[in-house]
Amino acid sequence: MQAATEMFTVTPLSLDLLTDPLEFVGKKPMDSGCNGSAGHENGNTVFDFSVLRDVRPCRSDSEERSLADIAASPRFGRPLETVRSSDCLEGLLNSPSMRSTMDTPRSERFPSFEPHPMFAEAWDLLRKSLVMFRGKPVGTIAASDHSEEALNYDQVFVRDFVPSALAFLMNGEPEIVKNFLLKALRLQSNWEKRIDNFTLGKGAMPASFKVLHDPIRNNDKIMADFGESAIGRVAPVDSGFWWIILLRAYTKSTGDQSLAEMPDCQRGIRLVLSLCLSEGFDTFPTLLCADGCCMVDRRMGIYGYPIEIQALFYMALRCAKLMLKPEGDGEELLERVEKRLQALNYHIRSYFWLDFEQLNNVYRYKTEEYSHTAVNKFNVIPDSIPDWVFDFMPMKGGYFIGNVSPARMDFRWFCLGNCIAILSSLATHEQEMGIMDLLEERWPDLIGEMPLKIAYPALEGHEWKIVTGCDPKNTRWSYHNGGSWPVLIWLFTAACIKTGRPHMARKAMELLESRLSKDHWPEYYDGTFGRYIGKQARKHQTWSIAGYLVAKMMLEDPSHLGMISIEDDRKTKAPSMPRSASSMF
Ligand code: GLC
């Protein structure tokens, strides 16, 4: 925390973040039923009654600082030089984040924290990546690489901002996170979301947004992308989930409930939920998605029920359950959330889980079974099991496979979904241990020389042609197709801490620190061991920088884990019943 001698003030929420229609570009703001303008309720201005002190030093509005000032200023947030172990112990005892330690195991004593030179560099780069909207930071740019065509890497991506946000929260700088959450919320409800003649769901959150500065009017405007400009027109299904998860992280870290309790935030949560809890023709509780709907935002054969989305869906439902107020139809919605959590929990724990024993079961599956007594419920044909998985599967360990649907099990390993399954306690304790065992047993394949593999193994040859549509960016062992993404270190580290294996995170961290800064913080690495800087990887990729910072800060102070982890709650435990007998209940 900032030195206690500094003056702090509780500032009213900046209303221009919420109300000014001039911020929108190219689209007219929709007159949605959003209580008139956000920031106003029943005609009254809603102020942000932050319970906790605002970490900004006291200053007048006319003193808004420029981006350069902020990057350079030691007064903004917590100066790097003050990050010391002793300080952190004090911080741990006094900071609001201590609340998040209550359900967090402190598995072992952590060695004193001597910041690596990269740590200071990373903070400097993270501050330089801040995107300002009317003098206030509202996000971080995806990449600051001027040697490559920007495409949309000059935008603030919702998913990319999550590690940046966590770094700021961990450093006692919640205001930027609050600004971002409100900005994304505003875009969700006040943007006309159309692709050609088709209007997207009200709850959809943007994949990314860009701030445009108009030098003539000296004004900033926002341009958002809900998939209508994205390459392949992919839908960012994960954005709404990340938004909810981040809102809970903010609340947990600051102790400030007032943001989540704001009517507009409550409405935002409901809108996301109504998108994913709506009734359809589904026979499964998992969410049906198109290809490229998440971090893997190109065609990669993840259409159907990808584990990344299912785990984020589960985590978001658990976070929403903690924040939704039971007023109005809230009670009924909370019941629907609870029912879906239980159904998801059972389905994913039972059908997505693969270990040696289960692989052996699938290998011996009978097919064409009809009726409730079927063991092979999805009619998976054993011949469809790829050869690699027999060798890959260790005797000890297991994981949630990539996708499950009729006659289809995608046996690929996806890192993000498995880490989120641990953090959300979607995985049982045994499954959590199994995932960590697998990572330990298959270290060269899944961590290699540069953490961590986004997916394993790569699609090659004919399969690559058919599944990716001959995508030249996703050739074997590159990018989403078996590439290694440094950003994943934060999720891996969080999972290691939750399962009491921080030594694994430290080992991965050593690999990362040996190259990441020297290589100028690339977006991803290529090759079976992640040895080569990615063919088309951007340099100075912000989430590679922020992911490193978050992992580093969590290793130093594991109490931060509480922001992004939720313990199992007994109500959502899957009933113990044989896999073939669920329909009897
Ligand atoms: C790439 C990644 C995507 C990320 C974006 C911005 O498209 O696949 O996950 O959000 O870059 O960094």
Q: Whose CA is nearest to atom 9 of ligand 1?
A: 295
Cα 255 from Cα 235, distance rounded (Å): 33
The 10s digit of each residue's pLDDT in 67-106 is 333 333 322 444 433 333 333 333 333 334 333 433 333 3
The ligand 1 atom nearest the CA atom of 297: 8
User: Looking at ligand 1, which atom is closest to the CA of residue 153?
Assistant: 6
Centre of ligand 1 from the C-alpha of residue 395, in Å: 35
Q: State the distance from the centre of ligand 1 to the C-alpha of 323, rounded, in angstroms.
A: 28
Q: How far is the CA of 419 from the centre of ligand 1 (A)?
A: 18
CA–CA separation, 577 and 99 (whole Å)? 36
* 398 vs 396: CA distance, rounded Å: 7
CB 558 within 8 A of CB 113: no
Cα(487) to centroid of ligand 1, in Å? 11
The pLDDT, as a whole number, for residue 101 is: 38
Q: Among residues 403, 222, 164, 226, which one has the least CA distance to residue 302?
A: 403
DSSP classification of residue 535: T
> Closest ligand 1 atom, CA of 542?
12
Residues of the chain scoring pLDDT < 50:
1-22, 26-110, 575-585
Which atom of ligand 1 is found nearest the CA of 143? 12
Query: What does the pLDDT read at residue 146?
Result: 87
Atom of ligand 1 nearest to the CA of 159: 10
Look at ligand 1, atom 2, and give the residue with the nearest C-alpha.
Answer: 295
Ligand 1 site residues (CB inside 6 A) read 142, 157, 159-160, 295, 297
Distances (CA, A) of 124 to 67, 129, 225, 564: 12, 9, 28, 24
Compute, in angstroms, the gap from residue 299 CA to the centroid of ligand 1.
Answer: 13
Which pLDDT does position 112 carry in this prediction?
Answer: 54
21 C-alpha to ligand 1 centroid (Å): 29
Alpha-carbon distances of 163 from 166, 489, 500, 516, 546, rounded to whole Å: 5, 10, 22, 16, 5
